[in-house]
């Protein structure tokens, strides 16, 4: 796409207008492919990532190296030549201010020769660099003067100074759509845009001193001074928080408006029988959260609760007690796990906690996509007949063939946010909507919980059960101490010699599973060879060949193995038939082997903070202390190294959650996209905007509680429609 030109615009243009009507079909297709934009709203919400300074006007005679400069000059010569090392061409443009000469360099942009012709004058801005002893500007920004604007090219003129002082918006761009093309497209949209209704009620706009939405868009994309875009950013940040919280609150209200069947435990029933045989007392947190869940289950509105707690804090037990309360009322419970390994682990754990008598009465059943035809048929029959009061499985539970007799509770385990679409699929499987309980072992800061899980009630289990041993964590910095590598394996062998078991975790399965594609990934910027990523296959072969592990029983586990193979390996490890297991993060959550005392995480800098914390939680679960060695080749003072050192420094998952937010800085603090578009934050930063998010939630609640509710605020309703995806709109429509 070489240019952005205005098509004929017919009729009024609003935020919901298609981009094709403003930019033309070809350009709008390029923008949709590059950024997923379809409407004017999508384009105007593509905010600049920064604003460049053109700098002070500088004479060519005294250009400072490596600084941004702005020059008024005339083009005197243009030359195109092919590149030597690769395909493509270089356009070199010589400019002069009458005293000195400077070269402008453009790669693969020969088309610029049509406008940068000798004799043309303008203002050129960019960073000065040195190429083979000559100063140049590579890919400079420029604006050419009209032929009759003679006074504009005079250094020091008002026009030159104004242009030099105006902030330049720099947009997120791609290889096919450059920042300047986005800027021109935004200008076309703003020029064509008519009325822009404000989703934030006028009362709140006045109270907070916000800009009108149309003005905010203008100042954000076409500021004349820094103060304008700064004020626009504050307004649009509040808009984003307000609309997001209104969407979550609306969804929360809609989900609670549907009638559910109250579920309460019976005296002497399944729950009382379990509590009577538990070999330990519930922690205070477990008891408190259990009471909150019991209160929700007894209500006529469906429960939507998130339980967060440290690894090993007893979330599964709390969920099981909720399942038994539902079973006491004649209903069934379904537990959704993200992987087959974890589903199998959950089933075994539940059967163990229930004991033989309760298991025989409740018949916990596994239902996954890897079952044989005969096993699947038996599981489906138990589920539809109500014989299985507890059904554990993967997302295979959502299939059309799965029918429940009376589904009363859905428990979703670990990180997989239960989206609207899945809730609706399960809701349709019961006569009344089931209660929903979401579990996560990833501690969530309050601002993230409010932003991502704003439609759920949140409970926290912070205490660990009595008797848990501590975990010692150490960073093994191979960049500083390459000689320590041998000690890693000696330490693992020492644990095995004590009769304990060891996890070794790798970020890849094979040597081909590189995170970087292409041949250049084999060398760094200085031409030095890049250390290969640790992978399960090569590490397993290496350990088996090491004399230290001559008598050790070694297995490997990863996601490409069949379900039966994975299950067999985990059973063997849990039973003590394997001493060391080399695995990927398939063992990150839920795997419980009390005799596992040590974990070696290779290339630990390849994992996130929460992942490292989750992995570490697999050891120290029995009567022996845990040891976690986080091996990294990351250099000191790099973000990757900071991440590993932060995890090693504390076992407090809630502290790590906040550290994670800080370390991610401007990254996607919410991780992968959740249901709909709710995690695609543009201006909000949950690490720093917690107070703003809370204020926006209060304002949104007051607005929705007004007489007439959402119907009294059509601009907010329109903003919500733009914010929510189709499945969320369908859910709200059905409610």
Q: For residue 75, what is the domain's CATH number?
A: 2.40.50.140
Question: Assign residue 127 a region: left if phi > 0, alpha if psi is -120 to 50, beta otherwise?
Answer: beta
32-36, 234-238, 625-629 — which one is most confidently predicted on average?
Answer: 234-238
CA distance 545 to 465: 40
The domain that contains 574 carries what CATH number? Answer: 3.40.50.300
Of 72-81, 128-137, 547-556, the one with minimum mean pLDDT is 128-137
Residues 529 and 565 in one domain: yes
* pLDDT grade for 55, boundaries at 50, 70 and 90: low
Contact 666, 684 (CB under 8 A): no
CA of 199: how far to CAs of 18, 48, 414, 682, 697, in Å? 20, 22, 35, 17, 14
Taking residues 105-116, report their average pLDDT.
90
List Cβ neighbours of 126 (8 Å cut-off, separation of 6 or more): 68, 69, 104, 137, 138, 139, 140, 141
Q: What's the mean pLDDT when you consider all of the chain? A: 82
Domain boundary residue, one of 591, 618, 650: 650
**What is the model's pLDDT at position 731?**
43
CA 222 to CA 186: how far, in whole Å? Answer: 9
| DSSP designation for 368 | -
Q: Is 466 within a domain?
A: no
CA nearest to 505, candidates 631, 408, 634, 420: 631
Residue 376 and residue 403 share a domain: yes
| Res. 474 pLDDT band, cuts 50 70 90 | very high
User: Cβ distance 413 to 344 under 8 Å?
Assistant: no
pLDDT class of 525 with cuts at 50, 70, 90: very low
Distance CA 221, CA 296 (A): 47
The pLDDT value given to residue 377: 94
Co-location of 227 and 348 in the same domain: no
Residue 153's pLDDT band (cuts 50, 70, 90): very low
Of the candidates 395, 46, 433, the one whose C-alpha atom is nearest the C-alpha of residue 217 is 46
Paired tokens of 280: 């330990």
pLDDT classification of 669: cutoffs 50, 70, 90: very low
Residue 49 lies in a domain: no
Q: Does residue 204 share a domain with residue 95? A: no
8 Å CB contact between 90 and 103: no
Cβ within 8 Å of residue 524, ≥6 positions away: 530
Choose between 521 and 467: higher pLDDT: 467
- In this predicted model, what pLDDT tens digit does every residue of 608-623 receive, in sequence order? 887 888 888 888 877 7
Domain boundary among 144, 166, 188: 166
Q: Indicate whether 211 and 62 sit together in one domain.
A: no
Same domain? For 205 and 114 the reply is no
State the pLDDT confidence band at 470, using cuts at 50, 70 and 90. confident
Picking from 238, 263, 549, the residue whose alpha carbon sits closest to that of residue 434 is: 263
pLDDT of 722: 81
Least confident range of 292-296, 347-351, 672-676: 672-676
* pLDDT of 298 higher than 50: yes
Q: How many domains does the chain have?
A: 4
The domain containing residue 151 runs over which residues? 54-166
Secondary structure class of 308 (helix, strand, coil): strand
Q: Which of 627, 650, 673 is the last residue of a domain?
A: 650
Q: Assess contact for 661 and 443: CB atoms under 8 A.
A: no
Q: Match 């477990």 to its residue by tokens.
A: 286
How far is Cα 316 from Cα 335, in angstroms, rounded to an integer? Answer: 10
Q: Are residues 231 and 300 in the same domain?
A: no
Contact between 14 and 193 (Cβ < 8 Å): yes
Under the banding of pLDDT at 50, 70 and 90, the label for residue 478 is very high
* Least trusted range by pLDDT, from 124-138, 202-216, 218-232, 361-375: 124-138
Beta bridge partners of 124: 71, 142
CA distance 711 to 620: 55
Residue 687 covered by a domain: no
Instruction: For residues 301 and 432, give the distance between their C-alpha atoms in angstroms, rounded to a whole number.
Output: 10
Torsion of the alpha carbons at 144, 149, 151 and 155, rounded to the nearest 10:
0
Within 13 Å, how many C-alpha atoms sit on residue 113's CB side? 14
CB 114 within 8 A of CB 78: no
Distance from C-alpha of 621 to C-alpha of 316, rounded to nearest angstrom:
15
19-23, 146-150, 435-439, 475-479, range with the lowest pLDDT: 146-150
8: pLDDT strictly greater than 90: no
Task: Please tell me the predicted confidence (pLDDT) of residue 155.
Answer: 56
Residues 615 and 499 in one domain: yes
Q: Which of these ranges, 436-450, 531-545, 691-705, has the smallest mean pLDDT?
A: 436-450
Closest CA to 307 of 333, 285, 274, 328: 285
Question: Do residues 158 and 213 share a domain?
Answer: no
**What percentage of the chain exceeds 70 in pLDDT?**
82
Q: Is residue 43, in this structure, part of any structural domain at all?
A: no
User: Hey, which bits of 108-233 come out as E strands?
Assistant: 121-131, 134-138, 141-144, 168-170
Q: Reply yes or no on whether the pLDDT at 359 is more than 80.
A: yes
H/E segment holding residue 705: helix 690-705
Q: 236 and 293 share a domain? A: no
**C-alpha span between 631 and 615 (Å, rounded):** 13
Q: Is residue 504 part of a domain?
A: yes
Is residue 45 a part of any domain in this protein? Answer: no
pLDDT at position 238 is 96
Is 47 part of a structural domain of the chain? no
Mean pLDDT calculated for residue range 152-176? 69
Q: Give Cβ neighbours of residue 294 (< 8 Å, ≥ 6 apart).
A: 264, 265, 322, 325
Name which of 200, 302, 18, 1 is nearest 9 in CA terms: 18
Does one domain contain both 231 and 317? Answer: no
| Angle, vertex CA 111, rays to CA 108 and CA 113, nearest 5 | 105
pLDDT band at 3 (very low <50, low <70, confident <90, very high): low
Residue 529 lies in a domain: yes
Question: How many other CB atoms are found less than 10 A from the CB of residue 206?
Answer: 9
pLDDT at 554: 96
Same-domain status, 75 and 224: no
Nearest to 81 by CA among 115, 106, 117, 118: 106
pLDDT per position as a tens digit, 93-102: 999 877 788 9
Arithmetic mean of pLDDT, 405-432: 72
DSSP lists the bridge partners of residue 471 as: 626
């Amino acid at each position: 796409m070489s240019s952005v030109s205005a098509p004929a615009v017919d009729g009024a243009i609003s935020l919901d207008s298609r981009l094709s009507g403003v930019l033309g079909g070809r350009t709008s297709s390029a923008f949709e492919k590059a950024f997923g934009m379809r409407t004017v709203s999508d384009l105007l919400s593509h905010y600049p990532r920064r604003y460049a300074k053109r700098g002070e006007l500088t004479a060519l005679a005294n250009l400072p190296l490596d600084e941004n400069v702005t020059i008024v000059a005339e083009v005197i010569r243009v030359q195109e030549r092919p590149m030597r090392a690769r395909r493509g061409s270089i356009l070199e443009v010589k400019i002069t201010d009458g005293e000195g000469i400077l070269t402008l360099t453009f790669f693969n942009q020969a088309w610029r020769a049509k406008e940068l012709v000798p004799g043309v004058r303008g203002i050129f801005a960019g960073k000065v660099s040195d190429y083979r002893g000559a100063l140049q500007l590579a890919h400079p920004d420029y604006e050419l003067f009209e032929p009759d604007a003679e006074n504009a090219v005079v250094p020091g003129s008002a026009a030159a100074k104004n242009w030099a002082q105006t902030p330049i918006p720099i947009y997120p761009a791609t290889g096919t759509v450059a920042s300047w093309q986005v800027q021109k497209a935004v200008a076309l949209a703003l020029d064509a845009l008519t009325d822009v209704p404000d989703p934030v009620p006028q009362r709140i706009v006045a109270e907070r001193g916000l800009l009108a939405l149309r003005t905010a868009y203008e100042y954000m994309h076409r500021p004349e001074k820094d103060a304008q875009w700064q004020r626009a950013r504050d307004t649009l940040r509040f808009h984003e928080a307000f609309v997001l919280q209104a969407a979550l609150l609306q969804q929360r209200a809609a989900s609670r408006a549907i009638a559910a069947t109250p579920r309460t435990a019976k005296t002497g029933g399944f729950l009382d029988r379990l509590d009577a045989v538990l070999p330990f007392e519930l922690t205070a947190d477990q008891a408190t959260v259990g009471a909150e869940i019991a209160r929700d289950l007894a209500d006529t509105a469906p429960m939507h609760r998130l339980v967060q707690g440290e690894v090993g804090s007893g979330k599964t037990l709390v969920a099981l007690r909720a399942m038994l309360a539902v079973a006491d009322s004649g209903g069934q419970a379904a537990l959704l796990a993200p992987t087959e390994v974890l589903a199998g682990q959950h089933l075994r754990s539940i059967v163990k906690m229930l004991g033989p008598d309760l298991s025989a009465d409740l018949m916990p059943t596994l239902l996954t996509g890897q079952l044989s035809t005969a096993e699947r048929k038996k599981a489906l029959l138990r589920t539809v007949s109500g014989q299985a009061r507890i059904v554990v499985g993967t997302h295979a539970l959502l299939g059309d063939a799965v029918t429940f007799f009376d589904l009363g509770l859905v428990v979703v385990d670990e990180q997989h946010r239960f989206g609207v679409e899945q809730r609706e699929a399960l809701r349709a499987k019961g006569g009344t909507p089931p209660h929903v309980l979401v579990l996560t072992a990833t501690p969530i800061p309050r601002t993230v919980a409010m932003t991502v899980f704003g439609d759920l009630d949140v409970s926290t289990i912070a205490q660990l059960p009595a008797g848990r041993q501590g975990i010692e964590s150490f960073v093994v910095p191979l960049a500083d101490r390459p000689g320590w590598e041998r000690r890693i394996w000696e330490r693992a062998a020492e644990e095995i010699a004590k009769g304990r078991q060891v996890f070794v975790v790798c970020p890849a399965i094979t040597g081909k599973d590189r995170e970087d594609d292409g041949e250049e990934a084999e060398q760094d910027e200085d031409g030095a060879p890049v250390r290969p990523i640790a992978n399960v296959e090569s590490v397993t072969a290496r350990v088996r060949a090491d004399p230290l592990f001559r008598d050790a029983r070694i297995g490997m586990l990863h996601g490409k193995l069949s379900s039966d193979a994975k299950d067999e390996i985990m059973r063997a490890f849990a039973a003590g038939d394997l001493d060391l297991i080399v695995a990927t993060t398939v063992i990150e959550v839920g795997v419980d082997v009390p005799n596992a005392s040590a974990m070696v995480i290779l290339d630990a800098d390849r994992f996130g903070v929460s992942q490292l914390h989750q992995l570490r939680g697999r050891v120290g679960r029995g009567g022996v202390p845990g040891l976690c060695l986080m091996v990294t080749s990351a250099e000191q003072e790099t973000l990757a190294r900071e991440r590993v050192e932060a995890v090693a420094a504390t076992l407090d998952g809630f502290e790590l959650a906040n550290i994670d937010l800080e370390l991610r800085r401007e990254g996607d603090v919410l991780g992968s996209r959740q249901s709909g578009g709710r995690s695609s934050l543009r201006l909000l930063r949950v690490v720093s905007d917690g107070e703003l998010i809370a204020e926006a939630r209060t304002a949104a609640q007051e607005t929705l509680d007004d007489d007439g509710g959402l119907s009294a605020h059509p601009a907010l309703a329109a903003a919500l429609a733009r914010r929510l995806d189709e499945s969320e709109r369908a859910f709200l429509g059905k409610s």
